[in-house]
């Protein structure tokens, strides 16, 4: 395989990889690796008698990071906007949760299981309908109360924290009866299976996810939930809803065994949650049951602080070992230059510098092949269809000129994992969402609105074909001319940040290859002038 064919193979393979990944996200089943179980003795998942989401009195909550709405029915968290993140169309804060539309449903619910205890259908009361975190406050508490039933009174408390995407959700259970009770508590997220799925060209994962120390991080697709309810016993961990850039996860604070579950509520709506035993509550005593709800952007530091394993929702796959250091380096460069676009350019230069000598050896080999191209064509004309003699003559020429026909392959192969890793980094980093570069590019995570970068990148690929050795095969020559244009079409749908990386990388490659071509050509002329 010569260098031209390798380049063609690499481009084709990467294109197939992207298409395959898109198809897999839509079609491929996700295996459940943890042990499935029908039930646990002390805690069974909440049962639904037909899906219905009713509305009661609305309670508005505003902090430095959230604008939230809690409903008195169930004490559900029905709406949640992230004040530090803009909507996709820049029309206002990003609305992460909402119950406004049946086609885009995202709600956080909790409840207790036990005789007369409040589920997510229960009605709560509160002393106010408007709560705001004041400048001199670090926490904001919203207390909801249900009437005492069977001698048991329950308060549900939301506690918001300044500068955090973690919300404490606490049940205070007061057993005023004359007998012990053993309730269970559940935490769940309701979500539809159609919204936040990305585009056809750039699909993204939206679905369930959970983590345990035993089974690590796993995703659960809505297609799998539709086929069969998931029921998994665990000793620790969290469960939640993952989408592009954002995540919500329930993190119980109890060390009790728990069950992770999913339930199909309707053709388009599913619940994803966990249930665990509260333990015995003796007569005349009160017990607090705590959990944390992380709901916000997939920023590494916030995720790592919130819960063990939550950082894995930023999923780089098998190339994590390369992608994480690249993200770390990109973040530190940004801390210096204060612009993500410039940070990408600097990172590209650093990567190019790291591979400079390796690339140079490949470019030298290609330059030598370019110099002997006329002689190669002459051999082809001489031997015609006698492929055996042509092959022998070509190998003799390679030996005489000290050219390794595979010499340009290794530099390309080595850099492929780095490029793919950076692709996942730029695609999945919430830090680049709505991050401006210069001029018309105000969002490096979105496509170039005027397609300037993809067009420039296509032009650089065409220039590179002229710097490479010309193919002797007419069909291959036509393919090599068409491929840069065809491949560039993919980049019309890629994030501007990724196209920027490729453009800068191509410009640097063109400069390096041109300089080496010129040097080898000068050496060839000198050699020819000396009669060698």
Q: Name which of 75, 60, 72 is nearest 133 in CA terms.
A: 60
Cβ count near 313 (within 10 Å): 23
Angle at alpha carbon of residue 353, lines to 348 and 357, rounded to 5°: 140
Query: How would residue 392 be classed by pLDDT, with cut points 50, 70 and 90?
Result: confident
Between CA 45 and CA 420 the distance in angstroms is 41
Residue 270 burial by Cβ neighbours in a 10 Å radius (0-12, 13-18, 19+): buried
Cβ 171 vs Cβ 286: under 8 Å = no
Segment 211-246, tens digit of pLDDT: 999 999 999 999 999 999 999 999 999 999 999 999
Segment 327-366, tens digit of pLDDT: 999 999 999 999 999 999 999 999 988 887 777 666 666 6
The dihedral region occupied by 456, where left means phi > 0, alpha psi between -120 and 50, and beta the remainder, is: alpha
Sign, Cα dihedral of 255, 260, 265, 269: positive
In this structure, of 286-295, 357-366, 487-496, the range with the lowest mean pLDDT score is 357-366
Between CA 526 and CA 513 the distance in angstroms is 20
Query: Higher-confidence residue: 403 or 472?
Result: 403
pLDDT of residue 411: 63
Query: How would residue 152 be classed by pLDDT, with cut points 50, 70 and 90?
Result: very high
Between CA 347 and CA 459 the distance in angstroms is 22
Main-chain dihedrals φ then ψ at residue 96, nearest 5 degrees? -80, -50
Q: What average pLDDT does the segment 241-269 reach? A: 94
Q: Name which of 197, 194, 64, 216 is nearest 140 in CA terms.
A: 64
Cβ 443 vs Cβ 431: under 8 Å = no
Residue 32 has pLDDT above 50, yes or no: no
Percent of all residues in the chain with a pLDDT value above 70, rounded to a whole number: 80
> Check: CATH 2.70.98.90 for 54-314?
yes
**How far does the chain reach from its first CA to its final CA, in angstroms?**
29
Main-chain dihedrals φ then ψ at residue 189, nearest 5 degrees? -120, 130
pLDDT of residue 530: 59
The count of residues in the chain is: 532
In order of 34, 417, 437, the CA distances from 318 in angstroms are 20, 10, 30
Q: Which residues pair with 285 in a beta bridge?
A: none
Query: Higher-confidence residue: 459 or 166?
Result: 166
Cite the DSSP H helix spans in 145-208. none
Query: How would residue 18 be classed by pLDDT, with cut points 50, 70 and 90?
Result: very low
pLDDT of residue 476: 64
Strands 286-297 and 166-175: antiparallel
Sign, Cα dihedral of 161, 164, 167, 168: negative
Q: Name which of 47, 54, 104, 43 is nearest 265 in CA terms.
A: 47
pLDDT of residue 334: 96
Q: What average pLDDT does the segment 438-454 reach? A: 92
pLDDT of residue 337: 96
Segment 61-74, tens digit of pLDDT: 999 999 999 999 99
Cβ count near 350 (within 10 Å): 13
- Domain limits of the chain? 3-19+323-529, 54-314
Query: Higher-confidence residue: 385 or 454?
Result: 454
Per the prediction, the chain carries an average pLDDT of 84
In this structure, of 292-296, 479-483, 496-500, the range with the lowest mean pLDDT score is 479-483
pLDDT of residue 339: 96
Query: Higher-confidence residue: 175 or 411?
Result: 175
pLDDT of residue 24: 35
The dihedral region occupied by 463, where left means phi > 0, alpha psi between -120 and 50, and beta the remainder, is: alpha
Segment 88-126, tens digit of pLDDT: 888 999 999 999 887 789 999 999 999 889 999 999 999
| DSSP-derived 3-state class of residue 333 | helix
In this structure, of 252-261, 269-278, 353-362, 429-438, the range with the lowest mean pLDDT score is 353-362
In order of 79, 120, 167, 189, 479, the CA distances from 52 in angstroms are 17, 11, 25, 14, 57
Token pair 């333990």 is found at 279
Tokens of 510: 């063109």
In order of 410, 447, 483, 486, 488, the CA distances from 462 in angstroms are 22, 21, 9, 11, 10
| DSSP-derived 3-state class of residue 240 | strand
pLDDT of residue 22: 39
Please name the helix (run of DSSP H) or strand (run of DSSP E) that holds residue 173, with its range, or none. strand 166-175
Q: What average pLDDT does the segment 282-298 reach? A: 96
pLDDT of residue 492: 86
């Amino acid at each position: 395989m010569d260098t031209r064919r390798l380049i063609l193979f690499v481009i084709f393979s990467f294109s197939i990889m992207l298409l395959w990944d898109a198809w897999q996200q839509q079609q491929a089943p996700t295996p459940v690796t943890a042990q499935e179980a029908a039930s646990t003795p002390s805690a069974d998942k909440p049962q639904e008698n037909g899906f219905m989401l009713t509305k009661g009195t609305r309670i508005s909550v505003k902090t430095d990071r959230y604008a939230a709405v809690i409903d008195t029915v169930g004490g559900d968290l029905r709406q949640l906007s992230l004040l530090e993140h803009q909507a996709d169309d820049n029309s206002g804060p990003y609305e992460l949760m909402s119950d406004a539309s049946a086609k885009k449903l995202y709600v956080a619910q909790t409840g207790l299981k036990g005789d007369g205890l409040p589920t997510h259908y229960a009605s709560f009361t509160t002393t106010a309908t408007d709560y705001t975190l004041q400048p001199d406050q670090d926490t904001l508490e919203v207390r909801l109360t249900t009437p005492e039933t069977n001698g048991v009174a329950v308060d549900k408390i939301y506690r918001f924290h300044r500068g955090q995407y973690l919300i404490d959700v606490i049940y205070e259970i007061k057993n005023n009866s004359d007998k012990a009770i053993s309730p269970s508590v559940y935490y769940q997220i309701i979500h539809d299976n159609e919204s936040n799925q990305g585009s056809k060209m750039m699909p993204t994962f939206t679905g369930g996810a959970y983590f345990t120390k035993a089974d690590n991080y796993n995703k659960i697709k809505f297609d799998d939930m539709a086929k069969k309810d998931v029921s998994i016993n665990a000793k620790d961990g969290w469960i939640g809803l993952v989408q592009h850039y954002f995540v919500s996860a329930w993190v119980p604070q109890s060390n009790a065994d728990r069950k992770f579950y999913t339930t199909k509520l309707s053709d388009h709506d599913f619940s994803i949650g966990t249930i665990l035993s509260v333990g015995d509550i003796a007569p005349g005593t009160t017990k607090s049951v705590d959990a944390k709800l992380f709901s916000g952007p997939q920023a590494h530091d916030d995720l790592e602080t919130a819960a063990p394993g939550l950082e894995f929702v930023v999923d780089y796959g098998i190339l994590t070992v390369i992608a994480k250091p690249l993200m770390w380096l990109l973040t530190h460069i940004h801390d210096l230059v204060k612009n993500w676009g410039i940070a990408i350019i600097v990172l590209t230069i650093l990567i190019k510098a790291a591979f400079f000598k390796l690339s140079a050896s490949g470019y030298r080999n290609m330059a030598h092949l370019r110099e002997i191209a006329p002689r190669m064509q002459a051999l082809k004309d001489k031997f015609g269809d006698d492929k055996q003699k042509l092959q022998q003559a070509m190998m003799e020429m390679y030996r005489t000129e000290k050219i390794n026909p595979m010499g340009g392959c290794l530099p390309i192969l080595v850099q492929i994992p780095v490029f793919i890793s950076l692709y996942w980094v730029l695609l999945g980093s919430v830090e680049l969402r709505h991050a401006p570069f210069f001029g018309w590019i105000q969002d490096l995570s979105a496509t170039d609105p005027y397609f300037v970068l993809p067009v420039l990148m296509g032009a650089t690929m065409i220039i590179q074909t002229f710097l490479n050795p010309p193919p002797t095969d007419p069909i291959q020559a036509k393919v090599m001319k068409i491929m840069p244009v065809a491949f560039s079409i993919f980049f019309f749908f890629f994030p501007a940040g990724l196209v920027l990386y490729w453009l800068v990388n191509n410009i640097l490659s063109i400069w390096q290859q041109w300089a080496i071509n010129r040097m080898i050509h000068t050496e060839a002329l000198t050699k020819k002038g000396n009669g060698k």
